[in-house]
Amino acid sequence: MLSRRFTLILAIIAIMAGSMAAIHLSNKDLGIIFGTTSEPAGGLLYSDFDLSDVEELIIQKGESDRTRFVKRQGVWQMITPVRDRADYAILQTIIYAARHLRIEDSFKSRAITEEESGIRASASNAGPYQITLKGGGGQILADFTVGRRSAWHRLDEEDGHLHETFFVKPREKSLDNHVYVCSTPKKIPFNIRRILDRGLSRLRDHHPVLIDQKSISGIRIRSEGREIMLSRSPDQSSVWRMMKPLETRTKPAMVNGLIVGLSQMRAIRIHERKSITIPPRPPGAFLLQLELTSKGAGTGQSSSSTIVTIEPPAPPEADTVLATSEERPGLVFELPRNPVAGGISLAQLPLKVDQLRDRTLADFEISALRSLTIHQSTRSSTIHVFLGKDRTGRPRWTLQEKNQVSPANEARVAKVLASLTRDEVVGFASNAAANLSRYGLSPPKKRILLELKKGEPVDIIFGRSPEGRCFAMRQGTSTVAEISPASYTSIAAEVYQWQDSLLMPFSIVDLSAMKIEHFPISVPLGDPALTLKYKFLSEEWSARQYEEDVTPELNKHRANQFLKFMEELRVEQWLNPASPAAARALRSPSFRLTAIFQELDEEGELKGFRESSFELAAASSSPRNRIFYGKVTGNPNYFVIGFEAYSSLKSSLLDTAEP
């Protein structure tokens, strides 16, 4: 029979066990009694906090390699082993990866050794990393150990990408009974282990400058005794202007590329100022000095500057250079001088005047253009093209030459505007030209004046040098730019070049008859020309060929499509009336179309007929010829059309082959 003392001891043990079970049951945690269950595969290991909750990050490898980071005013600072700025992008990547650890599989801690999972260092594993994320009050948000990479990969069914996996062992008591195989989110191209294996020293900010790209309002570049100054107002909609060594427009893409490049450029190594010797040099004999001025966001906020000084390479052929930043005076940055894979080097930054200045002849909103006037040295009259209206009241470019007004060639307008605002100049011949005659600009060969809705007119002169090179200069400046011959010729100075590209007025409503002729004539008897008659209101067709009625063979659908094609047929280019090649080709035309239109009086009564015709001929006898000359009767100018338009004109409108 059991003694009373032993029975009392058993009762006390039962009461204590029941109390502990009740406590853990109230906390919904029976893992300490029965063992914890693993988190399900496909879910996240940690999901109870937001990225913005993380205020502290601790990463430790082994006993001595420990780094601690604290976020202050939105900027991550390294606290240990040294006090310095941390690499914000890398730390945020680590935090994002920790928050989104995806569980692929799990093991009981007893089912896999710590050497196998890499949770303990071994000869084949450099060792685990312990990562701890804390909130503002010091509470632990995530605490886990990253082991080695596993051999298993997760297949992304959307794009077929294989995601690497690695072992993770949570250090929280509620999770430490299992080891998990995890992967990082899709938006991170490499797993967290690869980031950490680069070395914890890489978590220190290797950028020599930390800037808000949008707040930059001034850039000063000093090199080789020269200085470049770029400036803009704090308003983000304002444009960058070059103030030194000359006042001119800048190329926005290049200036933005410079700012982005500076913000992304990373040092290959960081040295403590006391641990490295910078070779002595005379004052101001640096390789390069960059000063970035930022304007405060608030009203009345003062400007701040960041200056980076880059020392000459030592030796001169070195691939890296040393740089110091006034922002972090205790450090020396070793920057890549020549292009490096996956990074930005000094050689890739636009630091020259000709790289940063705008390389187009003009910069204005196309919608603000109201008219353009072209002067040619060999013509007394000017060509004036203005934005008028067509018969329906819609805006349309209109040509005015002397007292005559007609629709302008809108393709030509577009080509001129593209040449002025998009085509880059070949180079800059002079920034302070005194003798313009050497560039063919005194007097100029051509001049274009563009009137804008607001602002000063754009006035540009063009010329050719005695050597045949093409130059342009904007009036009011002293900069002469060399342009390509294509840009020079795009400023059309002949009236015929501005003629509407529509081949001829072709009205389906007024059409009475058409005659289509193909040459040479291969059949000696009869007239092979196809004569068509058309009534618009009833859409009736009749056709004759070889003095016979071929209306039944006429494909009316193709005939209707042919009319629409003729209404919209445009030339590719108008040519000089004295074009010898076109005149020679058209001595033996291969196609002729004649159209007869009704002419009505003001009361709608028929008053007569108008005849219009044109001929076409191949530019060469080669089977590969793709250019065709043409001429409209009554128009002294020749024109050019392409192979597709010519093929459409030559296609048969009859369903039966011609005899």
> What secondary structure does DSSP assign to 362-423, as a single string?
----GGGEEEEEEEETT-SS-EEEEEEE-TTS-EEEEEEETTEEEEB-HHHHHHHHHHHHTS
Give percent above pLDDT 70 in the chain. Answer: 92
Provide the pLDDT for residue 22: 55
pLDDT tens digit string along 297-318? 555 567 788 999 999 999 999 9
The phi, psi pair for 435, rounded to 5°, reads -105, 95
- Assess whether pLDDT exceeds 90 at residue 233: no
Pull the structure tokens for residue 607: 């008053």
Q: Which residue has the tokens 């008028």?
A: 388
- The whole-angstrom separation of Cα 556 and Cα 543 is 10
The phi, psi pair for 275, rounded to 5°, reads -95, 0
Pull the structure tokens for residue 389: 């209206």
* Span 641-646, average pLDDT: 96
Provide the pLDDT for residue 253: 92
* Span 624-633, average pLDDT: 96
Question: For 511-650, which CATH class?
Answer: mainly beta
Collapsing DSSP to helix, strand or coil, 656 comes out as coil
Select the highest-mean-pLDDT range: 100-109, 278-287, 619-628.
Answer: 619-628
* Span 353-368, average pLDDT: 92
Strands lying side by side in the sheet with 303-310: 248-249, 241-244, 226-231, 216-223, 288-295, 303-310, 320-325, 328-336, 269-272
Provide the pLDDT for residue 525: 60
pLDDT band at 657 (very low <50, low <70, confident <90, very high): low
* Span 202-224, average pLDDT: 90
The phi, psi pair for 546, rounded to 5°, reads 55, 40
Mean pLDDT of the chain, nearest integer = 89
CA distances from 322 to 72, 221, 261, 342 (A): 29, 17, 18, 20
* Span 375-391, average pLDDT: 91
- The whole-angstrom separation of Cα 321 and Cα 327 is 18
* Span 444-468, average pLDDT: 95
Is 522 exposed, middle or buried (CB count within 10 Å of its CB: 0-12, 13-18, 19+)? exposed
pLDDT band at 230 (very low <50, low <70, confident <90, very high): very high
Provide the pLDDT for residue 224: 82
- Assess whether pLDDT exceeds 90 at residue 462: yes
Whether 321 contacts 337, CB under 8 Å: yes
Q: Which residue has the tokens 């805006």?
A: 395
Provide the pLDDT for residue 109: 85
Provide the pLDDT for residue 40: 86
pLDDT band at 153 (very low <50, low <70, confident <90, very high): confident
Strands lying side by side in the sheet with 573-574: 548-549, 540-545, 530-535, 511-518, 591-600, 606-618, 627-632, 638-642, 573-574
Whether 409 contacts 462, CB under 8 Å: no
Q: How many CA atoms lie within 13 A of 165 on its CB side?
A: 21
> What secondary structure does DSSP assign to 147-209, as a single string?
EEEEEEEEE-TTT-PEEEEEEEEE-STTTTTEEEEEE--TTSSS-HHHHHHT-GGGGB---S-
Strands 56-61 and 129-134, bridge-based pairing? antiparallel
pLDDT tens digit string along 416-439? 999 999 999 999 999 988 889 999
- The whole-angstrom separation of Cα 534 and Cα 514 is 8
Provide the pLDDT for residue 18: 63
Question: 327, 324, 311, 331: which is closest to 270 by C-alpha?
Answer: 331
Provide the pLDDT for residue 144: 94
Select the highest-mean-pLDDT range: 88-92, 209-213, 217-221.
Answer: 217-221
Q: Which residue has the tokens 């405060």?
A: 296
- The whole-angstrom separation of Cα 375 and Cα 377 is 7
Provide the pLDDT for residue 379: 84
Exposure string over 308-331, b if 16+ CB within 10 A, otherwise e:
bbbbebeeeeeebbbbbbebbeeb
| Low-confidence winner among 283-297, 339-353, 626-640 (lowest mean pLDDT) | 283-297
- Assess whether pLDDT exceeds 90 at residue 212: no
Strand pairing partners for 544? 531, 549
| Low-confidence winner among 66-75, 182-191, 253-262 (lowest mean pLDDT) | 182-191
Is the dihedral angle over the CA atoms 181, 186, 187, 188 positive or is it negative?
positive
Number of C-beta neighbours around residue 397 at 10 A: 22
Whether 585 contacts 618, CB under 8 Å: yes
| Low-confidence winner among 138-152, 229-243, 508-522 (lowest mean pLDDT) | 229-243
- Assess whether pLDDT exceeds 50 at residue 532: yes
- The whole-angstrom separation of Cα 518 and Cα 528 is 8
Strand pairing partners for 167? 181
Question: 132, 136, 181: which is closest to 154 by C-alpha?
Answer: 181
Select the highest-mean-pLDDT range: 116-125, 335-344, 443-452.
Answer: 443-452
Provide the pLDDT for residue 20: 59
* Span 353-359, average pLDDT: 93
Is 428 exposed, middle or buried (CB count within 10 Å of its CB: 0-12, 13-18, 19+)? middle
Provide the pLDDT for residue 473: 96
pLDDT band at 524 (very low <50, low <70, confident <90, very high): low
Side chain identity at residue 198, one-letter code? R
Provide the pLDDT for residue 33: 46
Question: 339, 311, 307: which is closest to 323 by C-alpha?
Answer: 311
Q: Which residue has the tokens 């009373």?
A: 4
DSSP 642: E
